């Protein structure tokens, strides 16, 4: 079964309830009942429940317990009291089912993100659960990692011995794997449930309105978002529309022979040379761990290159005092919660901000669906994933940066938030802001950027103009 719904519709809550963690480990008031093979979930004890339901979460880092691959797969079996002989037989099997055969003695932190997520899958599969619940398992993975993960999931599905409940935002591949689709609306009420074909025929429009992504082929026709061909570009006569945000001067970036390595280990980047013109919109794509974020951080002086030079508007950004750098560039980090520095949303947005820009801040937050009246006193750490992402974007945009860097800006966003993000971004890009976005999202690349640079193994392996 594929479970879809906009942010905050209760998909993860349902996953936790299916695994019996709600209300057991997370106190909650629960109505109704969950019946598993004729037994009420509430009446099963923990080992019995865990033997039947396996749960895979979004972030591999929060699921792996042991240092070695085989030990981690065995962990769930140890907890259920399996005899050693059976464990020794089952661990390699489970690893093979997850496509990790032969990696038993490896250290799990040495695996790629995609392999780590399949290791989490192997650990959950090991006790042969009847039901496998996966909560956005591919959201943190690069396209290759996500494909490998879904390949394994398809193989499990085709074996037809395990019930699968998959929660995803981006459903291009998952849609065709499902026998059943359950769509929830923003309030957590079911919109529709049925076979993918029936649900698409009956409810595509309502799902679209609720902000749910559908496979591109099934999206109901919508009136074009922009009238001119390239959204947000000044039109062909060279008349640019009156842009609302102003004051950001156009700034380009030059990088020459950049190399970078962290304190220990092999170089992350080697010999990168790159020119980004003022107002250009560049996507950095390529596998995770290839050096995209590192390059983005070097380009705006958040890291200092070991060799080579970076010039940001005629200056070396790594040597600029913080206050001057902040006037030129803004950076939205991959994980919003790692960049929040204040206790309240209202303080977060004005931290380090010129007084003159404060009125703009509250208008921007309202535009992004985070009005200060409602959110001002909330803790940034208590926001939903989508809200936190929009707050981090607001913090960057309110400064009218000449150069804006976004690290995985669309990660885990439902369709409505994605469109909101795009329209706000659009207004700023029209004013001539240079955009550098590290991203895996083909849709974002198609909608926003005009140049795609592919980074692989620390080098530029592709550089093409797409618009």
Partner 1 sequence: MMLNRLELADSQLDSPLGRTSPIIKLGVGIGWLAGLALTLAWTPPLLLAAVALAAGILLGSVRVGTLARSIAPLWIAALGIGLFNALYSTSNGDPAAATLVALGPTRITVEAATNGFALALRVIAIASVGAVFTLTTDPTRLADALVRQARVSPRFAYGALAAYQAIPRFGEDLATLRQARRIRGLRGSWHPRLLVTLLVLAIRHGDRLALAMDARAFDSGSMTFYRDLRWSWLDAGVAIGASIVLIGALALGR
Residues in 173-202 at the binding interface with partner 1, rule: CB under 8 A:
none
Helix (H) or strand (E) holding 428: helix 415-430
Q: Is 327 in the site for partner 1 (CB under 8 A)?
A: yes
Q: Is 67 in the site for partner 1 (CB under 8 A)?
A: yes
Cα distances (Å, whole numbers) of residue 117 to 56, 100, 150, 191, 427: 8, 11, 11, 30, 37
Q: Is 338 in the site for partner 1 (CB under 8 A)?
A: yes
Q: Which residues contact 317 (CB under 8 A, 6 or more apart)?
A: 299, 300, 301, 310, 325, 328, 329
Q: Is 335 in the site for partner 1 (CB under 8 A)?
A: yes
Please give the radius of gyration of the chain, using alpha carbons only, rounded to the nearest integer.
24
Shortest separation between residue 381's beta carbon and partner 1, angstroms: 6
CA distance 152 to 141: 14
> How far apart are the two ends of the chain, measured CA to CA in Å?
39
Shortest separation between residue 92's beta carbon and partner 1, angstroms: 12
Shortest separation between residue 118's beta carbon and partner 1, angstroms: 15
Between 50 and 276, name the residue whose CB sits nearer to partner 1.
50
Contact range with partner 1 by CB under 8 A, out of 42-50, 157-165, 281-289, 448-456: 42-50
Between 76 and 186, name the residue whose CB sits nearer to partner 1.
76
Near partner 1 by CB under 8 A: residue from 35, 40, 42, 78 = 78
Q: Is 25 in the site for partner 1 (CB under 8 A)?
A: yes
Contact range with partner 1 by CB under 8 A, out of 72-80, 139-147, 221-229, 441-449: 72-80
Residues 91 to 130 in contact with partner 1, rule: CB under 8 A: 91, 107, 109, 123-124, 127
Between 181 and 310, name the residue whose CB sits nearer to partner 1.
310
Output DSSP code: residue 250.
P
Shortest separation between residue 198's beta carbon and partner 1, angstroms: 32
The first and second tokens of residue 53, run together, are 């339901």
Q: Is 75 in the site for partner 1 (CB under 8 A)?
A: yes
**Residue of 371, 368, 375 whose CA lies nearest to 420:** 368
SS (H, E, C) 287-306: CCCCCHHHHHHHHCCCCCCC
Shortest separation between residue 326's beta carbon and partner 1, angstroms: 3
CA distance 30 to 391: 31
Near partner 1 by CB under 8 A: residue from 298, 325, 365, 453 = 325
Q: Is 83 in the site for partner 1 (CB under 8 A)?
A: yes
Q: Is 51 in the site for partner 1 (CB under 8 A)?
A: yes
Number of residues that bind partner 1 (CB under 8 A): 73
Q: How many CA atoms lie within 13 A of 285 on its CB side?
A: 21
Between 272 and 298, name the residue whose CB sits nearer to partner 1.
298
Between 68 and 443, name the residue whose CB sits nearer to partner 1.
68
Between 61 and 218, name the residue whose CB sits nearer to partner 1.
61
Q: Which residues contact 93 (CB under 8 A, 6 or more apart)?
A: none
Residues 205 to 264 in contact with partner 1, rule: CB under 8 A: 262-264
Q: Is 64 in the site for partner 1 (CB under 8 A)?
A: yes
Cα distances (Å, whole numbers) of residue 287 to 14, 101, 262, 349: 32, 22, 19, 32
Q: How many CA atoms lie within 13 A of 362 on its CB side?
A: 10
């Amino acid at each position: 079964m594929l479970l879809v719904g906009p942010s905050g519709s209760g998909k993860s809550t349902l996953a936790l309830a299916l695994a019996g963690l709600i209300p057991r480990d997370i106190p909650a008031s629960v109505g109704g009942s969950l019946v598993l093979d004729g037994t009420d979930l509430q009446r099963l004890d923990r080992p019995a429940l865990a033997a039947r339901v396996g749960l895979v979460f979004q972030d591999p880092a929060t699921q792996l317990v042991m240092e070695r691959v085989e030990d981690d797969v065995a962990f769930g079996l140890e907890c259920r009291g399996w005899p050693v002989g059976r464990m020794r037989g089952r661990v390699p099997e489970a690893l093979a089912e997850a496509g990790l055969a032969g990696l038993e003695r490896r250290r799990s932190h040495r695996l790629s993100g995609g392999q780590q997520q399949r290791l989490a899958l192997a650990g959950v599969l090991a006790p042969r659960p009847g039901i496998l619940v996966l909560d956005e398992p591919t959201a943190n993975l690069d396209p290759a990692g996500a494909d490998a993960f879904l390949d394994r999931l398809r193989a499990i599905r085709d074996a037809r011995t395990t019930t699968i409940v998959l929660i995803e935002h981006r459903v291009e591949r998952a849609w065709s794997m499902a026998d059943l689709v359950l769509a929830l609306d923003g309030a957590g009420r079911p919109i529709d449930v049925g076979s993918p074909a029936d649900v698409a025929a009956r409810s595509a429009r309502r799902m679209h309105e609720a902000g749910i992504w559908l496979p591109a082929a099934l999206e109901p026709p919508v009136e074009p978002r922009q009238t001119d061909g390239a959204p947000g570009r000044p039109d062909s006569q060279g008349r640019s529309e009156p842009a609302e945000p102003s004051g950001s001067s156009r700034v380009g970036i030059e990088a020459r022979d950049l190399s970078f390595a962290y304190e220990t280990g092999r170089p992350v980047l080697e010999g990168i040379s790159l020119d980004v013109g003022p107002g250009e919109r560049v996507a950095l794509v390529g596998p995770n761990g290839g050096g995209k974020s590192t390059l983005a951080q070097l380009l705006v002086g958040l890291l200092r290159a070991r060799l080579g030079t970076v010039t940001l508007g005629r200056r070396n950004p790594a040597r600029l005092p913080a206050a001057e750098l902040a006037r030129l560039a803004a950076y939205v980090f991959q994980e919003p919660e790692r960049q929040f520095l204040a206790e309240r949303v209202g303080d977060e947005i004005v931290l380090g901000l010129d007084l003159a820009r404060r009125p703009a801040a509250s208008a921007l937050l309202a535009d992004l669906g985070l009005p200060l009246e409602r959110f001002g006193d909330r803790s940034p750490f208590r926001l939903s994933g989508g809200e936190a992402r929009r707050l981090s974007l607001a913090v960057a945009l309110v400064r009218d940066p000449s150069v804006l860097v976004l690290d995985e800006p669309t990660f885990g966003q439902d369709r409505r938030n994605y469109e909101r993000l795009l329209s706000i971004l659009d207004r700023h890009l029209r004013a001539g802001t240079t955009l550098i976005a590290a991203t895996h999202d083909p849709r974002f690349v198609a909608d926003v950027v005009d140049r795609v640079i592919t980074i692989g193994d620390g080098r530029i392996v592709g550089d093409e103009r797409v618009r």
